[in-house]
Each structure stands twice: as C-alpha cells, then as structure tokens.
Structure 1
Amino acid sequence: MAAQHRRPLTRLLATATAVVGIAALAGCSGGGSEVNSDYGFASAEQTADSTITVWVDAAREPVAKAFEEANPDVPISIETYDGNAGGSGSFQTKVALFDQSGEGWPDVVFSTQTNDASWAAKETNGVQAFAAPLNKGYLSDDFLSGFTDGANDPMTVDGTVYGLRNDLAPVVLWYNQKLLDEFGYAIPTTWEEYQALGDKLAAEHPGYILGSIGDSFVGTYVYYWGAQAPIFQLDGDTFSSDFDDDHSVAMTDMLDSMVANGTLVQDSVFSAPFVENYSDKIVAMPGPAWYAGALFQNPDSLNSTAGEIGAADPLYWEGEDKVTGNVGGGVWYASSHSKNLAAAKTFLEFVTSSDEAAALASGLPAYDSAASTWLDTQAESNFFTGDFKSAVQTAAGSVWGGWGFPSFSPETAYAAVVVPALADGKTIADVVPEWHDQILNEAQVQGYTVK
C-alpha cells in the first residue's frame, strides 16, 4: 500500500502552542528518540509490570478475557468501544486527542476496519505514529509467516507491517438446503443465475428472500466489491470511483431489480425485524464467512437448525474471473507508545494464533493454524451441510484485488445516501450520482487527488 495522506482533523487538532508541547513530549512518546534495536522503532521506557490497556469491541471481549484468564501474571485492563464499526472514525479521533496531550494511548487496539494503517502508520505533528512496526524485530519472522498469504497486506505500508489481521472475511454464498430442496431450486453459481433465481422465487414463493442490502457493509463489500465494480480504488495518493463501468452498472441494475421484486430486503441482518421476519425464509444469501457464528449459529440471531445451512463458492459474473468481495476481517494494532511491549506482544500472539482464539472465533481466523483448527471444528460439528471447508477456502483465495484501502470507509457514503433513498422508495440508480459525489467528496476531504 502506498503512502497516504492523514486526515485533516488530525492536523487541525494541534494549535501552535500544542505543537510545542508535543515536541517536548517526543522523548517519552518515541518521537525523535533512538530506535530500539529489539523492536525496530523508538520505544518508550519499558516497565515490565506496567498494565496494558486493550481496546476491543463487544465481539472480541471474550478472547481478551480468555487471555486474561490464561495469563494471570500479565497486568491488563480491558476496555470496550465501538470497534470503529461502520467507519465511525472513533479509533483515529481518540488517538488524535492522546497525540495532542502526549499521553493516554492504549497499548493494543482492535478495529473492525482494514484501512486504519493509512493514518495509524503516519507521524502526526511531530508525534510518532500510533501503530508500532511489527516486522522490524518486534514480532518474529516465524510468527508473522504463519498468517495466510496476503492477510496483512492492507496493513503493510512500504514493506512495514503495522497491524495483524484477526480474521479473513471473504464472501461466500450461504444457502438453505432444506428450502432449495422443497422448492426444487439449484444453488446459483453466477450473479446471472442469482438474479434469475430471484425472479423465479418472487413469482413462485413471494415472501422468501435472497438477502438484504440494508447494511452499508453488504451493499458495498458484498455486492459491489464482489462484482468487480471499480467504485473504490486507490493508486498511490490518487482515488477514483467509476459507476459507469459495466460491472458497476450491472450490479446496480441487479440490486434494483431484486429490491423491486422483494427478494432483497432493506432490514439490517442484525436487526430484530430481520430475525423475526426472515429467519426461516432465507433461501440463499451472499455474505462473509463470519456469518457462520455471527448469524447462523448465534442463538440471539438467526439460530438456524443444524444441517440446513451450507456455504457455496462465491458468485461471479458468467465468463469472468471467479472473484469475491471481503467484509472486514478485523485488525489488531500495538501502540508504539506502549510501556510494556513484551506484554502487548504476548497478547497479540494469543488473540491471533492460539487454540483458545480459534475456539472463540465466529469466522475464519487469519492465522493459518488457527484457521485450520476452526475449519476442522466446523466440519466436525456437522452444523453446516455440504462442503463448508472447501467453499470457505475457495473464497479466501478469491478476493478481488481491485478494491482500495484509503483512510475512509465506503460504508459512510452508502449509509448517508443509499440507505435513506431506498427507504424513500427510490432506486439505487436514482441516487448513483449523489452517491458518487459523496464518495469523491470524502476522498477530497481526506487529501486524496481525485481522478
């Protein structure tokens, strides 16, 4: 990933007086200090018994508590926050305030977004970058080589790794074998077959669905990324978005058609209405691998019956590359300002590669050994029908590489423009110009050259 501009908000937070104060703090924050040969970056003075503060979202709290239980000698304080969900920017905003005061940084942070390295790897107003370089001596090459190939690419800047992928989130096609058998339908393999199934389902079994586009991550990552739609691309510091590309137009047309016939709904898959109205009416639904635990096996969500749900290979355009989208796959960051980097390292290794982490994972772990354990556990449980392991592995190796990772999320523009438009009865095509402008405006605000 090429170097990228940091957000203007960060630049605006420091007044001239604050800059002077921050410069004075540079020694304790690592900025301007000598590189620590053990870690490969300028570190704060280390204190072995210093408590590490770990930020997690609610879904990652169990693995953090599992670490605490397994490592009673490691002092740790676990704090929950929104996980930067939906591109909220909370992670960056909080760090910017700590940069201004010169203290208070957490030691480890989990983020649901894969694009935070674009700012977390950058020095800000003379304050050392928040994210610690991980492959300059801090973490061993043997440990880092255990991640699935490409898993940490979004967090790699000019050859330096700044974050560790928690899980891979490739999109597969989830299906209900019981309903397919009952209706006499085959599992679709292409987007064209998926749309045709929507037409057939709407005519023959109204009320049954093939998914939802009510979540911003679904509309952007599942459908447009999976369709090879070049609406969110980055080349160095140049951002581009093309809604006139054939892939973009075809996906917009398909979604509008399926919303119109009722086979795509607008409720969030995490909402109570979706669970209440559609738990037993989902014939098929493209979605990330982590739907396995987050939706289908979750007693507080769809709580599907064992043996009915399966995962099939991702959908693709007929005659084109068999690629798919990706929905998140959270990231762990260690702070370069930490006063107990040894404890932070122990934590990072545990939450990404341990058997305990694999057992608590709702989706496919990014660490190979943990992924193998998770896939085997899923297969042995007999909860999913079909060749679940093969489908997930196929998807993991098929993510389209044309999607960009700038310092802002595509979810915010979709949520601001598309979601309310659909609620008002408009089509996606109706608001594509506004959606496009919103994306480009966000890119310009972030300092990118817009093509």
Structure 2
Amino acid sequence: MAAQHRRPLTRTLTTATALVAVAALAGCSSSGDAGDSSDDSEYGFTTAEQVADSTITVWVDAAREPIANAFVEANPDVPVSIETYDGNAGGSGSFQTKIALFDQSGEGWPDVVFSSQTNDASWAAKETNGTQAFAAPLNKGYMSDDFLSGFTDGALDPMTVDGTVYGLRNDLAPVVLWYNETLLDEFGYDIPETWEDYEELGEMLAADHPGYILGSIGDSFVGTYVYYWGAQAPIFQLDGEEFSSDFEDEHSVAMTDMLDRMSANGTLVQDSIFSSTFVENYADKIVAIPGPAWYAGAIFQNPDNVNAPTGTIGAADPLYWEGEDQVTGNVGGGVWYGSSHSENLDAVAQFLEFATASDEAVTLASGLPAYDSAASSWLDTQAESGYFVGDFKSAMQTAASSVWSGWGFPSFSAETAYAAIVVPALAEGKTIAEIVPEWHQQILNEAQVQGYTTK
C-alpha cells in the first residue's frame, strides 16, 4: 500500500493493539501471502513486493529519536513514520511481543526497529508459525560487504546466527572504570587496576571517607553485566540450545562475596543510578564506578544526572581479577534491525547506514559507536574536547577489545531475574549470597520457559 505521509510522524505507543492499528493506517509494509512476494535469492530471503517511495516505519526509544529525526532532515525525499516505544529496555520483551502480533495478522510490521538488547537475534532470525523471520539477513547480498566490514571486530557477533548477520550494532558498551581524579587526588588514592584493588579501595574509603561510593548494585544491568560478566562468572551461558548457569564457579563466588562486603560497608549503594535519589545523594561523591562506555553521555555529561564538571572524570582500563585474563563486561550496545517484510528495502538500507555510520551518528552518539570510522571520530572528539582526564581513547579501545566471550545471548535477558529476585531482596536487607539459590532457579526457570535445555 503506497504511503500517504511524507512528513515525519512521531507517536508514543503504549499498547501492542495500538501499534497494530497505527502501523496499518500508516501504510506499513506487509508481505501478505506468498502470491504478493517474490523469491529474491540474492538477498537470502523472500522479499515483499516493493513499492517505490512507500513510507518506512521506524521504531526507536526516546534516546534514538534524534538520529531518526536527523535522517528525516537529511533525506527529505524518503517518507518516514517515527514511532517511539520502550526500546526493549531492561529485557522487557516488548519488541518480540509486538512483532508476534504482526506475525499472527500477517501484516503491519515496522520496517526498522531499534532495540537496546543484544540478544534479540535469537528469536528475530527464526521463522514463526510459517511466517518468515522478522529480521532481514544483511550479509547475503542485501547490504554491501564493504559497508559491513566497517564495523569494529566482533561488534556484529551477537547478531550473527550460523554465519548470517541479522542486525547492526548501534554502539559498543564495554565496561571501563570511570574515576573522579579530583577526589582520588584529594584523598590520596590510586586508580584501582584489579577487582582486588577495587575492594581494598572500598575498605579505605569506608573507613576514612564514609558517604563516598564506588558504585551501585540497584540496577539489573549493573549487577549482571558490569559485575558478573566482568568477573568471568559463568552464570549466563549458551551452547546451542543448552543453557547453563553456574553460581558455584570460583569467579561467581568471588564476585558475590565482594559485592556483599562492599554493600555492607556502604561503598556500593542500592539506588538506581538513574534515580533522583542517586543524583541528589551521590552525584558529587562518586570516587570511581565501573560502567559501560555510554556512561560518558548518559551519566557524566548529562545535565539531569551526575553532570560532572569538566576535567574531573576519566576512564581507566577495565578491572580484572589479579593474575587472570584482563577481560570486561558489556552493557547493551543497541541494535538496529531491518524487516524482511518491508516494501521499501532501499530506504531501510539507507536508514541503517545513516544510523550507524554517518557524521550525524557520531555527533548524536552518547557512547562509543560500533562502526569503526564513527568510533574513531567519536573518540577523537571526546579526547579533544578536554572534558575527560587521562587517556580516554586508550581506555575505551582497550575495553572494546577485551569483552569476555563466555557470556551467552539466549532469547531472554539476564536482567529480569536480577530485577525480580535480587533487587527486592537487597531492599529487605538480605545479602546476595543468601538469595543466590532463588536467583539461580529464576534464571533456569526463564530458560526453560524459552525452550532451552538447562544444565
């Protein structure tokens, strides 16, 4: 169905039912039945009948809306409908749930979707009840090898299934150690290099400067991806269709014990880093905090969050266990998906390239872009700005090449079990060690619900 809107249309969608209705009215792409499509083997999937100049519907979260609007401004001849949703934040599953409704109706799919999760390819690359996979294969002739090869090594691995790439990484989110140089100098402390150094700093800080902190464990992404992934804790692993979670491994036990001790001495707090209480109580009391690359814009340069003064914050190499591999965790790094059902695949490809590799993608990035040339430009811009102290670029590059490969990417998120079990238990005064059995069982239950064999 040809589109009738050439001006950007932005909506916030609160229910899946509303999404179906709006998508249909906006003239979204539909593959219909087999008679309406053609087998385009050079793309590796069956394409819908292409309609020249048809509107592409783009789903984004609020943080990605500016890049979508920038595409509209830079490409006035491409009709775009921009629709906002939660971005699948916190492993909400909203992306999969909404697409499942369109699969059932056989129409209404969006053309482009941004997800904050890196594990959606596990379901978006699979046929559902006779309906072809939502995510379009990107490296089977649809997008050029020259363009795809421009992504940082390993960036597309989570979206690659049996050698086929189904999504494009928006940004890399390796964990570095953020530190406040002003406070470290004032207190006479060194930047910690290992997890052991980090805990020792917590002990000194608690004794000499109570009220100052080294982080928070009140966010599900922090507890799982920053600490346990960064500790090489094998609590979230996938081997084919077999899922395993080991909280008795020495790395898992060591991290649990460290978090409990630092929580007890007050150097790790329970407030969400995005909460008003965290900003009010701790914005000027963060001595160091392990966190992803996107803390640069989302936390430290954000007027509504820490908003640290220029020349106080630096990024250091990731923490690691003394004498072990120097690896780190990863917190998200959003992904762009193109729909295999789109009636305007040329516009979809144009949007995907713009969102990941354009000058605007660099300018609007709050964290480290996944496209190599964009990443280099962003790092140079940050380094030249004078905002961060130390060797910011080197720390980011080290972290980006050091993400531990032992973490799995099943069709569910590690965050949901932490949010359901650990966060409320901490609020009740329990330790993580006390509720590990319950947390472990919740993870296994979620894996079984998704059809995995658990180990």
- Describe the superposition over 1:52-92 as per-residue Cα deviations: whole angstroms up to 9, x where unpaired: 00000000000110111000000000010000000000000
Aligned with 1:328 (options 325, 332, 349): 332
Q: Distance in 1 between matches of 2:51 and 2:199?
A: 59
Counterpart of 2:273 in structure 1 is 269
Counterpart contact for 1:172–1:288, Cα < 8 Å: yes
Alignment of 1:190-339 (within 5 A): 190-339=194-343
Distance 1:356 1:29 in 2: 38
1: CA distance, partners of 2:37 / 2:235: 42
Letter in 1 for 2:154: G
Tell me if the contact between 1:134 and 1:163 (Cα under 8 Å) persists in the aligned partners: yes
Residue 310 of structure 1: SS of its match in structure 2?
strand
Report 1:10-89 matches (<5 A).
28=32, 34-89=38-93
1:86/1:411 contact within 8 Å kept: yes
1:172 to 169, 176, 179: 176
Is the Cα contact below 8 Å between 1:108 and 1:335 reproduced in 2? yes
Task: Flag the 1:266–1:131 CA change in 2: closer, same or farther, 3 A.
Answer: same
Which digits, 9 at most, give the CA deviation of each residue in 1:95-147, with x for residues without a partner?
Answer: 00000011110000000000000000000000011000000111000000000
TM-score by length of 2: 0.92
Question: What is the letter of the counterpart of residue 201 of structure 1?
Answer: L
Q: In structure 1, give the amino acid aligned to 2:306.
A: L
Aligned positions of 1:158-169 closer than 5 A: 158-169=162-173
- For 1:27 and 1:73, locate their aligned partners in 2 and report how far apart those are by CA, in whole Å: 24
Partner residue of 1:129?
Answer: 133
Q: CA RMSD in A?
A: 1.3
Question: Corresponding residue for 1:376?
Answer: 380
1:40 CA displacement: 2.6
- Output the CA distance in 2 between the equivalents of 1:442 and 1:37: 37
CA contact (8 A) 1:214 1:419 kept: yes
Alpha-carbon offset, residue 37 of structure 1: 4.1
- In structure 2, C-alpha distance between the alignment counterparts of 1:178 and 1:152, rounded to whole Å: 37
Contact 1:109-1:334 at 8 Å conserved across structures: yes
Q: Distance in 2 between matches of 1:103 and 1:91?
A: 16
Distance in 2, Cα, partners of 1:163 & 1:30: 25
CA distance in structure 1 between the aligned counterparts of 2:204 and 2:41, rounded to whole angstroms: 64
* Structure 1 residue 30, shift from structure 2 partner: 6.1
Q: CA deviation at 1:32?
A: 10
Corresponding letter in the other structure for 1:337: H
Cα distance change on mapping 1:336 and 1:94 into 2, 3 Å: same
Task: Name the structure 1 match of 2:23.
Answer: none
Q: What residue is the counterpart of 2:117 in the other structure? A: 113
- Contact kept in structure 1, 2:30 and 2:48, CA below 8 Å: no
Q: Verify the 8 A CA contact 1:177 1:309 in the aligned structure 2.
A: yes
1:410 equivalenced with 2:414 (yes/no): yes
Tell me which amino acid in the other structure corresponds to 1:102: G
CA shift, 1:41, in A, is 1.3
SS at match of 1:35: strand
List per-residue Cα deviations over 1:130-183 (Å, max 9, x = no partner). 000000111000000000011000000111000000000000000000000000
Aligned to 1:157: 161
In structure 2, the residue matched to 1:140 is 144
1:36 Cα shift?
Answer: 1.0
Residue 435 of structure 1 deviates from its aligned partner by: 0.1
In 2, Cα distance between the equivalents of 1:30 and 1:416? Answer: 43
TM-score, normalized by length of structure 1? 0.93
Aligned to 2:192: 188
* 2-structure distance, mates of 1:376, 1:35: 45
Following superposition, the deviation at residue 34 of structure 1 comes to: 4.6
Inter-CA distance 29–208: structure 2 relative to 1 (3 Å threshold):
farther
Tell me, in whole angstroms, the C-alpha distance in 2 between the residues paired with 1:252 and 1:190.
16
What does residue 16 of structure 1 align with? Answer: none
Amino acid in structure 1 at the alignment position of 2:120: D
Q: Supply the AA of the counterpart residue of 2:210.
A: P
CA drift at 1:39: 2.5
Query: What code does the residue aligned with 1:230 have?
Result: P
Do the aligned partners of 2:36 and 2:48 also contact (CA within 8 Å) in 1?
Answer: no
Paired residue secondary structure (1:395): helix
Query: CA deviation digits over 1:294-315, x for unaligned, max 9?
Result: 0001111111000000000000
CA distance in 1, matches of 2:90, 2:326: 27
**Partner SS state of residue 336, structure 2:** strand
Q: What is aligned with 1:431?
A: 435
* Unaligned ranges ≥5, structure 1: 1-24
- Judge conservation of contact 1:31–1:128 (CA < 8 Å) in 2: no
RCO higher in 1 or 2 (8 Å CA, sep ≥ 6)? 1
- The DSSP-based 3-state class of the residue aligned with 1:280 is coil
Does the residue aligned with 1:110 lie in a helix, a strand or coil? strand
Q: Matched residues in 2 for 1:83 and 1:59: separation?
A: 9
Mapping 1:355-394, distance limit 5 Å: 355-394=359-398
Matched residue pairs, number? 427
Distance in 2 of aligned mates of 1:276 and 1:284: 17
Whole-angstrom CA distance in 1 between matches of 2:174 and 2:31: 42
Is contact 2:31–2:342 with CA below 8 Å preserved after alignment?
no
**Aligned-pair CA distance for 1:38:** 4.8
Q: Is the 8 A contact 1:55 1:106 kept in 2?
A: yes
Secondary structure class of the residue paired with 1:275: helix
